[in-house]
Chain A
Amino acid sequence: MFANVFKRSMLARTSLVLLLLVGVAALIGPSASGWQFDEIDWDSLETAPSAVHWFGTDLIGRDLFVRTMLGARVSLLVALIATSVSLCIGVPYGLIAGFRGGRTDQIMMRIVDGMYALPFILLVILLVVLFGRNQYLLFAALGAVFWLDIARIVRGQTLRIKHAPFVEAAKSLGAPTKHILLHHVLPNVLGPVVVYTTLTIPGVILAESFISFLGLGIQEPETSWGVLVSDGTQSMESSPWMLLFPAGCLAITIWCFNTLGDRLRDQLDRRDNARITT
């Protein structure tokens, strides 16, 4: 369904390739250079990029390449866990609200509207402060606050196809609601869900790096791009590479997800418009 996008758009191809690279980096990068993420090279404290340390080293002589790759791993892990959690909440929520309609729908959507107006990241921080700084808890908590968009989109799509002939047919054959939702409605809302998941991911990655930047997320010696950027900020005058590599990786990843999501959304709109006019 989305194959066209990659045929047509160079930007979409580029960002997909870059994202695959980030993925590969996250998988094999941490073990590619022979250094450990917490291994200290006493002979090269705060050295510039070289053949030995590809991205240079940090203040206490740890290899920045390995640490940046580890950051990629954390970011993609956040993307995976948090978006899974947000899908697990958002999709059923949207399906039920849209399919039930009426008062149920109204109440459920008012709740979503109300939640849009909350400083969620701060609530996540509060949660992390309260329950200890466990990174998986942090990821899941992020997912638990990023489901609003997904719920809205799924509800909208469900409303659209609720009265489609095949749904009516299933209903009149006496299919249970659960069956209709899972087998007839869900497959038809998957397209938009894919698009908005792609657009949710950068938000989640940014949120994690934001919290880690403040020192409230991932803790040393573990690391993430937020932690690395924060360290890099401290010594950006004397050793700018400490800021540039992790910051660059973070920005590229965000940009790729945004661009990819945009193109996919354009494709979706185009398809919907075509359907309306024919």
Chain B
Amino acid sequence: MRKYIAKRLGYAALTFFCVVTVVFFMVRLAPGGPFDSMRRLPPEVEANLQAAYGLDKPLIVQYATYLSNLAHGDLGPSFKQKDFTVGELVSRGLPISVALGAMALALALAIGLAVGLAAGLTPGSLLDAVLMGLSNLNIAIPAIVVAPIMVLVFAVFLSWFPAGGADSAWHFVLPTIALALPYSAAIARLTRSSVAESRFEPHMATAVSKGLPRRRIVVRHLMPIAIIPVLSYLGPAVAGLLTGSVVVEQVFDLPGIGRYFVQGAMNRDYTLVMGVVIVYSGAILIFNLLVDLAYAAIDPRIRFD
């Protein structure tokens, strides 16, 4: 087990390092500098600016500086918002994005597992057809459509919820649902097929013939194996949730990290965009690590591999 964890940690660290490297060189080798779009600067001023941000040094030195700063948690200054460092901007938005993502993930799991279980226990039934039809529809209608319609219906017409902002828990209800819906459908589909298949495992026959109550069979014998594909979907799902939160934050006017990302991308604020990509990658890698550990906890075959 310890070896397994160490191996996973090693992979995660390596992946993170690669991401940082690729992103860094992508940004530095791209045509055009960060100060190009401004009005023509006298060469002396430009040279001073370059020097102030360390852009006059050789690339490899810049890379080393960036890495060592990153190791200290410093993502550098924002190129466009002069008074802020990227770290400040990110840490301002991060709690909101993390809260949104975590709630959406929990909701998606709750809906997805329940729907998938209900459909998978009776494959081919009317209930199954209805639930899966709805899920397919749900996957087809993207967040960029669902989120605005939710604002229109629940915030503008019915005024049950606020349309934007992040002042109270109430403000998070609609964004959480909008973000969770497509993933709940994907989880429902996965759960359904895996439940439908796992019903025929030999140990299920044993459990049934022992005369165990149905509830116990489902909870103790069916779910643990049926949930494994769902677990392995969680890694990509979280990557998608964090990306999706960029749109949801935009539509619901939540001041999360996604908003800074879009803003940075619009203004060509390289360091800010870079910082968000790196922070997101780090968050996803850590989450994947947790999923891998949960995997090993549930499935002993992996532990002893």
| Chain A residues within CB distance 8 Å of chain B | 110, 113-114, 116-123, 125-127, 129-131, 202, 206, 209-210, 213-216, 226, 229-230, 232-233, 236-237, 243, 247, 250-252, 254-255, 258-259, 262
Contact = CB atoms under 8 A, between A and B. Distances in A.
Interface in B12-37: 14-15, 18-19, 23, 26-27, 30-31
A210 B236 contact: no
Given A117-B235, A121-B243, A216 B262 contact: yes
A229 B276 CA distance: 26
21 contacts: A114-B15, A116-B235, A117-B288, A121-B243, A121-B246, A122-B276, A126-B26, A206-B142, A209-B142, A210-B247, A215-B266, A216-B265, A229-B144, A237-B156, A243-B149, A247-B141, A251-B140, A254-B139, A254-B140, A255-B140, A258-B139
Interface string B268-281: 10100110110011
B284 interface: yes
Given A119-B243, A233-B148, A255 B265 contact: no
Given A122-B276, A126-B27, A236-B152, 5 more contacts: A110-B11, A114-B15, A126-B274, A130-B27, A230-B144
Interface of B: 11, 14-15, 18-19, 23, 26-27, 30-31, 136-137, 139-145, 148-149, 152, 156, 235-236, 239, 242-243, 246-247, 250-251, 261-262, 265-266, 268, 270, 273-274, 276-277, 280-281, 284-285, 288
Nearest to A115: B15
B274 A214 contact: no
Nearest to A118: B281
Contacts of A114: 11, 14-15, 18
Contacts of A226: 144
Nearest to B31: A131
Given A117-B235, A119-B239, A206-B142, A129 B265 contact: yes
Contact of A259 (B19, B136, B250): B136
A229 B145 contact: yes
B142 A254 contact: yes
Contacts of A113: 11
Contacts of B145: 229, 243, 247, 250-251
Contact of A210 (B14, B31, B142, B277): B142
Contacts of A259: 136
B265 A125 contact: yes
B140 A214 contact: no
Contact of A258 (B136, B242, B262): B136
Given A122-B261, A214-B262, A255-B136, A117 B31 contact: no
A117 B281 CA distance: 7
A118 B239 contact: yes
A127 B250 CA distance: 21
Contacts of B266: 215-216
Contact of B26 (A130, A254, A255): A130
A262 B19 CA distance: 33
A129 B273 contact: yes
A209 B136 CA distance: 19
Contacts of B30: 130-131
Contacts of B148: 229, 232-233, 236, 243
A232 B152 CA distance: 12
A251 B185 CA distance: 15
B142 A126 contact: no
Contacts of A202: 140
B144 A213 contact: yes
A125 B266 CA distance: 10
A254 B235 CA distance: 23
A62 B27 CA distance: 38
Contacts of B274: 126
A120 to B, nearest CB: 7
Given A114-B15, A130-B26, A130-B30, A119 B281 contact: yes
A145 to B, nearest CB: 11
Contacts of A236: 148-149, 152
A130 to B, nearest CB: 4
A130 B145 CA distance: 28
Nearest to B141: A251
Nearest to B19: A118
A125 to B, nearest CB: 5
Nearest to A232: B148
Contacts of A121: 243, 246
A-B residue pairs, 7 tightest by C-beta:
A255-B140, A130-B30, A233-B148, A114-B15, A254-B140, A247-B145, A213-B144
B275 to A, nearest CB: 11
A117 B15 contact: yes
Nearest to A254: B140
A39 to B, nearest CB: 26
Contacts of A255: 136-137, 139-140
Contacts of B27: 126, 130
